[in-house]
Structure 1
Amino acid sequence: MENNRKAWLVVFSGLGVNLTLGVLYSWGIISAALIDDFNWTATQTQIPYMLASAVFALTMIPGGKLQDRFGPKPVLFVSSLLAGMGFIFSGMNLTVAGLTFFFGFVFGLAMGFGYSSPTPAAVKWFNPDHRGLISGIVVSGFGLAPVYIAPLTSSLIAMFGLPTALVILGVLFFLIVFSLTFLISNPSDGVEKVKLKKKPRRTHRLATKDYSLSEMMKTPQFYILWTMFFFGTFAGLLIIGQMSKIGLEQASISNGFLLVVVYAIFNFIGRVTWGTISDYIGRTATLFTMFAIQALIYFLFSSFTNPVALLIGKSVVGFTFGGMLAIFPVVTADFYGVKNLGLNYGVMITAWGVGGVIGPLLGGIARDLTGGYGISYLVSAVLSVLGAVLSLIIRHPEAEDRKGRLGEPDGKTGGST
């Protein structure tokens, strides 16, 4: 019983950390204010966002390594300090260079250190059968954050202006992450894994050893997974970075934070839902389904020119994008073990960082050159199709290669990927 209490405390504290650091997904509110009130171009507004995404992903590597070695507390403490500093000094230096450094670099570091700790810690407390659910709950905070951050940011900007709003947010974010730091820990060696009463019917193929980073990177599955992760997140990050302007220019939706909130709610639902689904039908089957849905919606996205259609389209994108962030840490754990999960997933999530640079950049350039986002939608649709194809190819690294392929299908190996 005591283990159960501690395990769930870690899960929901991790959820709280991600609810705070998920401000990145509200960037559309800040970027709209920069364009409207400070005459920034669409491309300029994406520079701090792109750098934050890249630094976030790259910092997951040292953050994950430190989490594996020292536990989550010291890593989260550093994250709380950087989160506060990043926003406070962004408010004091509201220029392209200022926001690029303080939001893009400093707050990017905060996200990388903060995000790298809660999920590995939470997953280590639970039986592998429940990894999809637990991962989905923890990372759902990052997707759900805009539900309160978007209207809060919008209100603060309206009342005090953007500079002061950023300072207030910085103080708030520091206090929240710092407080939750004391509640998150890895389980001690030998602690029994928590099992939930409702056990999934699916048996998952698990790694028979804990792979080091170098061992993981010697497997072809790592590179396929990385590519799939890039394809899956590229499209979602493009939409997030341009959220408010897409709504206004494509469907005349003037309420920018409404779009952000709707997207965030479905992002949250997607993370928990797809994580749970993967516990029942397998990881690769779940990835194929998400990629297929995402491809279809992006082929149709340019036709969503009325508010209801665009809201539905963005909801579906949020639903599938959120699922990607729940599934890939679980696949990494299933394929390569949990001992080095912080570092291994830290390297895997660099795919998200590359998508965070290229996706918003393409969206901003396409908007400035063509006045719309049609090219961006088409690229996103094609990449989603390729992701679906790869999900049919990849197999567990330890599956027997009887036919010269990357392992056998799930039914022939006695387990799921």
Structure 2
Amino acid sequence: MNRTARGWSVTLAGTGINLALGVLYTWSVFAAALTEQLHWTKIAASLPYTVACAMFALMMVPAGRLQDRYGPRWIATLGGLFVGVGLISSSFTHSLTLLILTFGVIAGIGIGLGYSAATPAAVKWFPAQKKGLISGIVVAGFGLASLYIAPMTNSFIKTFSIEGAFRIEGIMFLIAIVALSQILAVPLAPPQVSAQAHTKVQILTSPGSPSNQGTPPLSPGLLKTDYSWQQMLRTSHFYLLWIMFASGATAGLMIIGQLSSIAKIQAGISWGYAMVALLAIFNAGGRILAGWLSDKIGRAWTMRLFFLLQAINMFAFSLYRTPELVALGAALAGLGYGSLLSLFPSAIYDFFGTKNGGVNYGLVFTAWGVGGVIGPLMAGAVVDATKNYSIAYTIAALLCLLASLLTFLLRQPTLETENQRLQSKPI
């Protein structure tokens, strides 16, 4: 199998793994059943999901480091085992405390392990000009998962109860993730860049080049240096990206975690799982569209556009009072949120290289965990206190507007700036 074919097989395997890990995004279906059948409060029903988001994000750092060191296959396999055990264990309890442990902690750890391995493994098979697209395809699986898992979960709950839904999905996803993990691998050598890019590198790193005075030349074919996580933390770009990611994730995860309830409160519909599935389509589409667009016009411009779109949508969300308008809001929320999950890994690989991409993206991904904690809990607390989501929508909108403005401080890395960094910060 040639390199391109092998790269696509790893890409599709990673997408398949994320299609199973995306069970996290269907929590609103479980939450609706817990509030209706077991009479939990909305904030209580949000807690297992919130803890799962936090564990997912926290696990991305050690998981990223482990997959950088030992390879993606074993880390993803371990993730599949944790997800399966967590979901199956959830089927044996009605206790909030135990559900936080089984779904929130155990399944959350598994999701972090599996997710950390899929995207870095895929992008390493392709040249730099395809990083955005490949990242978008792999993470699209995570967003698209709700399209089939949400109605499937709803059906399982009606037929087999909440416990049966957890148990069946635990067995299904354990088998699927472990099997697909065996396909994951990384190449022995980096992909070749185009002849034009190779020529540019040779010119800019030649001994007489002004940008190369006093700087050791970059290896032929490499457009950047690979930063360790310690070096990355010394850059301003890391903190800008972290704040932007946390802001967008807060808005997106708030909607994802509460959408079934939002649909019932604002539009009076009891089939909110269909809205979750609709959001999933646009969530996945946003990942691919944003990844492709960012390869064409740059990461900063693409982030700016999607953050602004999400801010406008959040300001308007309290006005969505019909099923059609809630569907529009869900679609736009999915599009804006989905863009984050391809734009930010691509930006990390742009600024800090792919060699340590797992742990570097894991550190930035902690911002997603913060959003996963703040967004759902804020929304649950607001609606329990005020019986509507208006204040939560306004806070989310302001955060997205802030993130859009911060993109003006980002600068796309070039070979010249990387050479300057090499001068001031030896690798």
Equivalent-residue separation in structure 1 for 2:97 and 2:362 (angstroms): 27
1:146-174 per-residue CA deviation (whole Å, 9 max, x = no partner) reads: 11100111111000100111011100010
**Residue 300 in 1 paired to residue 316 in 2?**
yes
Alignment of 1:12-51 (within 5 A): 12-51=12-51
Q: Which residue does the alignment assign to 2:287?
A: 271
Equivalent-residue separation in structure 1 for 2:312 and 2:73 (angstroms): 42
1:282-327 per-residue CA deviation (whole Å, 9 max, x = no partner) reads: 0000000001111111111111111111100110010010011110
Deviation at 1:256, TM superposition (A): 1.7
Deviation at 1:2, TM superposition (A): 1.1
Equivalent-residue separation in structure 1 for 2:223 and 2:345 (angstroms): 14
Alignment of 1:136-147 (within 5 A): 136-147=136-147
Q: Which residue does the alignment assign to 1:199?
A: none
Q: Which residue does the alignment assign to 1:346?
A: 362
Deviation at 1:193, TM superposition (A): 4.4
Please tell me the residue identity of whatever aligns with 1:97.
Answer: T
CA contact (8 A) 2:124 2:187 kept: yes
CA contact (8 A) 1:46 1:360 kept: yes
Equivalent-residue separation in structure 2 for 1:12 and 1:253 (angstroms): 36
Alignment of 1:325-364 (within 5 A): 325-364=341-380
Q: Which residue does the alignment assign to 2:251?
A: 235
Please tell me the residue identity of whatever aligns with 2:48.
Answer: P
CA contact (8 A) 1:262 1:311 kept: yes
Equivalent-residue separation in structure 2 for 1:150 and 1:370 (angstroms): 28
Q: Which residue does the alignment assign to 2:333?
A: 317
Deviation at 1:389, TM superposition (A): 0.5
Q: Which residue does the alignment assign to 1:57?
A: 57
Please tell me the residue identity of whatever aligns with 2:102.
Answer: F
Alignment of 1:9-408 (within 5 A): 9-188=9-188, 190=189, 192-193=191-192, 208-396=224-412
Equivalent-residue separation in structure 1 for 2:414 and 2:231 (angstroms): 12
Please tell me the residue identity of whatever aligns with 2:307.
Answer: F
1:347-389 per-residue CA deviation (whole Å, 9 max, x = no partner) reads: 0000000000000000000010000100110001101110010
CA contact (8 A) 1:248 1:254 kept: yes
Equivalent-residue separation in structure 2 for 1:179 and 1:56 (angstroms): 21
1:175-218 per-residue CA deviation (whole Å, 9 max, x = no partner) reads: 00010011111111x254498xxxxxxxxxx8621000000000
Equivalent-residue separation in structure 2 for 1:356 and 1:84 (angstroms): 21
Deviation at 1:95, TM superposition (A): 1.2
Larger Rg: 2
Cα distance change on mapping 1:220 and 1:347 into 2, 3 Å: same
1:235-285 per-residue CA deviation (whole Å, 9 max, x = no partner) reads: 000011111010011011211211110000010111101110000000000
Please tell me the residue identity of whatever aligns with 1:222.
Answer: F
Moved more, 206-215 or 28-37: 206-215
Equivalent-residue separation in structure 2 for 1:24 and 1:307 (angstroms): 24
Equivalent-residue separation in structure 1 for 2:148 and 2:381 (angstroms): 29
1:75-102 per-residue CA deviation (whole Å, 9 max, x = no partner) reads: 0111111011100001112210111000
Please tell me the residue identity of whatever aligns with 1:33.
Answer: A
CA contact (8 A) 2:223 2:415 kept: no
Deviation at 1:46, TM superposition (A): 0.8
Equivalent-residue separation in structure 2 for 1:46 and 1:74 (angstroms): 31
1:388-407 per-residue CA deviation (whole Å, 9 max, x = no partner) reads: 10001122467879xxxxx9
CA contact (8 A) 1:271 1:322 kept: yes
SS of the equivalent of 2:187 reads coil
1:19-76 per-residue CA deviation (whole Å, 9 max, x = no partner) reads: 0000111011000000001110000011101100000001000110011001001101
Moved more, 132-141 or 293-302: 293-302
Equivalent-residue separation in structure 2 for 1:231 and 1:34 (angstroms): 28
Instruction: Give the ranges of 4+ consecutive aligned residues of structure 1 lying more than 6 Å apart after TM superposition.
Output: 397-401
Question: % of aligned pairs identical?
Answer: 44
Equivalent-residue separation in structure 1 for 2:266 and 2:224 (angstroms): 50
CA contact (8 A) 1:207 1:334 kept: no
TM-score (norm 1): 0.92
Deviation at 1:114, TM superposition (A): 0.4
Equivalent-residue separation in structure 2 for 1:191 and 1:350 (angstroms): 27
Please tell me the residue identity of whatever aligns with 1:328.
Answer: F
Please tell me the residue identity of whatever aligns with 1:162.
Answer: I
Cα distance change on mapping 1:192 and 1:333 into 2, 3 Å: closer
Equivalent-residue separation in structure 2 for 1:327 and 1:340 (angstroms): 17
CA contact (8 A) 1:221 1:396 kept: no
Equivalent-residue separation in structure 2 for 1:379 and 1:83 (angstroms): 32
Flag structure 1 segments of 5+ consecutive residues without an equivalent: 196-205, 402-406, 408-417
CA contact (8 A) 1:294 1:316 kept: yes
SS of the equivalent of 1:111 reads helix
Deviation at 1:123, TM superposition (A): 0.5
Equivalent-residue separation in structure 1 for 2:306 and 2:19 (angstroms): 23
